[in-house]
Structure 1
Amino acid sequence: MRFVLTGLLVLVVITAMGITAYRTLKPAETVSRADKPVPSAEPIKAIQYSELAEAPLIVEGRLRVYAEQWRVFADTPVTAQRMMTPHWSYRRWPAEVVSIVEVEKPASGVGMSVVVTKWSDGDIVALDAEKGDIVWQAKIDPAPGESYKGRRTGSKTMWSPEDLFVSTSVVDKQPIVIATGKDVVEAIDPANGTVKWTKSFVAEPGCRTTDWTGPDTYYTKNTCTKPATLEIYDAATGLPVGTWRPPGASIGTDAVSNWFIEPSSCDLGHSGCLMFKAAPTGEGVVTYTDAVSGLGTITATYYSLAPDRTVKPEPVADKDTVIAVGDVVAQQVTGGYIWAYSRTTGQRLWMSEVNGRLIGGDPRNFYLVNNEYQLLVLNRETGAVTSSTELRIRPADRFVFSMYYLHAGYLVIERLQTTKESEIDDKYYFSQDTVVLVGIG
């Protein structure tokens, strides 16, 4: 009898555990909203602030937003030394976080900043950046294989989203979020979730896998035409702006007719890109560094959209890294000097011999990480170094990086032991708290 009772007890326990697991892991949407106000943005200093386990987006200089496989959450303040108890949290299961963008409220202060999230089941959810409340929800047919690709830190999901972009209206300068799915693209008003336009490509399935936004346009390459065709649409209306192919593009094998193209000088990921580079073939294209070393001869040419919305070459842009801010373009052959030119006149403005890696720019400065692991600030007009910030937490630190984020006076870098993505996390990331956040002076 005792064995029977014991068996029944075990059965009851197992059944209870099963019910508990189901209640915990069943498909769910959970919102833990903020219960306290967000502190004001702090004055930014040119110092190290934080070592973090995950890669944040920074909103209004007051919040850090993170992504995990099934959860998006925020902490505050931005300058906290470590990750803090979540200010708010939003969780869905079994859907996974695919992409995130943030759209900050205008300078007038009217409205709210939103964090727009896209999930593997096609749900698009906008969250109030300050409170964590759901502002609106939309749905798009997801492309096959959409999943969380952020690994341990979420950096790729946060800093290089593949199917969620931001642009603006050429007329009223209001922000527009553009989402892509399975042979479809939608433009959404981030303030209220209104779908402004939809473009369906179901008649040519699987043909558009390379896309990005410019300041007020959406670009996508149609690989089913021979040769491929770049299609350009107005971001606010979805109306066609034009089509384009690089000079010399021709019919041939897929490797030839699917010519090379890549966005360049982008605000974040593939959003707000001022330029793109293209070559008339899809094979044999090398970097400028490799061409100089004799490893090939076909290099890409840089292009941009002229005020009349025709594609024009950027004649002074001819290096591996090109960053344009307004009329000034700074460029660098990998590891070499930095040259700055006027995009309008072609006049050389300055040259810097500082060694390192050019990583970004804004209306005041260009930014470089030098060989001594320092962030250098170069004046946009003169090239003079105006400040530096140490990126090493400890003097013995040695790391490499491929993902980084510049925004609102902060630089965030994901430190790695190697850029070989096939390595396991323990050999890939520099440390457990592998993300470093510094202020820019």
Structure 2
Amino acid sequence: MGFPKGRRRLVMVVVALFAVAAVAVIVHRVLAPAEVSTVARGGYPAAAQPAAGVIGRLPVAPLIVDARLRVYAAHRQVYADRPIDGRHRTSPYWSYRRWPAELTGVVASGSTVVSRWSDGRLVALDAPTGRVLWRADGPAPAETGVTVRRTGAATVWDPRGLYLTNLADGRTALVVTGDTQARGVELAGGRELWRVDLPGRCRSDVGTTPSGQLIGLDRCAGPATVELRDAATGAVRERWRPPGATDEVVVTPLGCRAGHSGCPALRTAGPGDAGGRGWLLGGGEPTAASALDPAGATLAGEQAVTVSDGVAVGRSARSGGELWRVDGLGTARLIAVQPGRVHLLTDANDLVTLDPVSGRQLSRFSLNVGSDGTGWAPGAVAAADGYLAVERLREPVDPAGDDQRYYLTAEAVILAAT
């Protein structure tokens, strides 16, 4: 005996409504904005002291944090593993995910890791625990045109529009820029220090200095001009036009501590320049530094370092006087600097590390692991806390190729202690 026709219709309507409600709940749970924080359960590892040499190989680019952790970027996740000298990537020590925003940049200072997301959100994490320290809103990231490949190197080694710098009172500031706005944020607690409107894509970021300035290149109203903006207040303190520069001038930061953060010098170059002109950054106008003029020269502490015809030369960046020279390097080229270390890569992919003050060789070894060999070309490189990581690209390098063609192996990043 069935239901009467009217009641049957009512039951069908109720069932349909329940089904729609259930689907709505599922869709909401899947698609609604959310974050998942998985904090560390083990103890914070001590700083390791591995012998100089290759440590291992990784599928993704590590950001070395506090000399204790490796932090990585995924599409919608930032996570860490340990130990820092582990041969392979291990299970996450901690992890932080957001949905539906995408991760666009990661920087770190001391034990604080800051992630930036496609909706402009800034999230600071505590490196020892992975716990959220603070959240803040920032400007939406500008389109950079940079391709983020599977290693995530562009996200953790050179996040454009996300910079760190030290203020005069000892605080560390995070400077965040987009197409039309810049903001300064106090790293310690996430408090906003200032916000200013920017004129648009006719202005671009170059980086930050070690002493509290955001470097920009302004082409909006008149000749191309370098501007130095106070990271404590947001006010432009200096506008400077390189002598003889045209509107096509290219400004390259030199000696940066990480990515484009903490850069004590820059080089300006225009069409037809053999190298350009080097400049030291301080409190006022940039100061000419001829030792940084040659293409490929960089700054390591107070020393300008160049490599040419198998000879590495260190000069005083201020006086230009030669301090040391090391020969017999073949076709080596300078690939990275960090405090107390200058890293050169030979044509046989030997990594040579020199003391920038004396030129003394600190270490030399082949960048080879397992049976991979040394028949590869270097890609993106990062150096910090005595470590160096480099992407290995398949030769001949095909910038337009997919990741499988572009990288040497699935574990394309080689990590070394220097």
Q: TM-score, normalized by length of structure 2? A: 0.88
Task: Call closer, same or farther: CA 1:395–1:89 in 2, change over 3 Å.
Answer: closer
Match of 2:45 in 1: 39
Q: Does 1:178 align with 2:152?
A: no
Q: Give the letter for the 2:236 counterpart.
A: P
Match of 2:122 in 1: 124
Q: 1:408 aligns with which of 367, 376, 385?
A: 385
Deviation at 1:22, TM superposition (A): 5.7
C-alpha separation between the residues in 2 aligned to 1:40 and 1:219? Answer: 36
C-alpha separation between the residues in 2 aligned to 1:408 and 1:14? Answer: 55
Aligned positions of 1:195-234 closer than 5 A: 195-201=192-198, 204-216=199-211, 217-234=213-230
Q: 1:62 aligns with which of 59, 68, 71?
A: 68
Deviation at 1:245, TM superposition (A): 0.7
Deviation at 1:424, TM superposition (A): 0.5
3-state SS of paired residue (2:128): coil
Listed as ranges, the gaps of 5+ residues in structure 2 are 1-17
Match of 2:98 in 1: 92
3-state SS of paired residue (2:156): helix
Task: Call closer, same or farther: CA 1:148–1:377 in 2, change over 3 Å.
Answer: closer
Check conservation: 1:227, 1:259, Cα contact below 8 A: no
Match of 1:275 in 2: 265
Indicate the RMSD between aligned Cα atoms, in angstroms.
2.5
Match of 1:262 in 2: 252
Match of 1:315 in 2: 290
1:235-292 CA distance string (max 9 Å, x none): 223233210111123xxxxxx524222222211211111111113x4xx245x4xxxx
Match of 1:7 in 2: none
C-alpha separation between the residues in 1 aligned to 2:190 and 2:389? Answer: 30
- Percent identity at matched positions? 31
Task: Call closer, same or farther: CA 1:16–1:48 in 2, change over 3 Å.
Answer: farther
C-alpha separation between the residues in 2 aligned to 1:344 and 1:71? Answer: 43
Moved more, 39-48 or 139-148: 139-148
Q: Give the letter for the 1:409 counterpart.
A: G
Check conservation: 1:143, 1:183, Cα contact below 8 A: no
Listed as ranges, the gaps of 5+ residues in structure 1 are 1-11, 105-112, 250-255, 289-298
Match of 1:330 in 2: 305
C-alpha separation between the residues in 1 aligned to 2:90 and 2:146? Answer: 23
Match of 1:240 in 2: 236
Task: Call closer, same or farther: CA 1:14–1:74 in 2, change over 3 Å.
Answer: farther
C-alpha separation between the residues in 1 aligned to 2:249 and 2:357? Answer: 36
Match of 1:73 in 2: 79
Deviation at 1:363, TM superposition (A): 4.4
C-alpha separation between the residues in 2 aligned to 1:146 and 1:123? Answer: 18
Deviation at 1:312, TM superposition (A): 1.5
Match of 1:3 in 2: none
Q: 1:150 aligns with which of 143, 148, 151?
A: 148
C-alpha separation between the residues in 2 aligned to 1:429 and 1:16? Answer: 45
1:326-384 CA distance string (max 9 Å, x none): 32111134x64222111233211122221312123344332212222221122323323
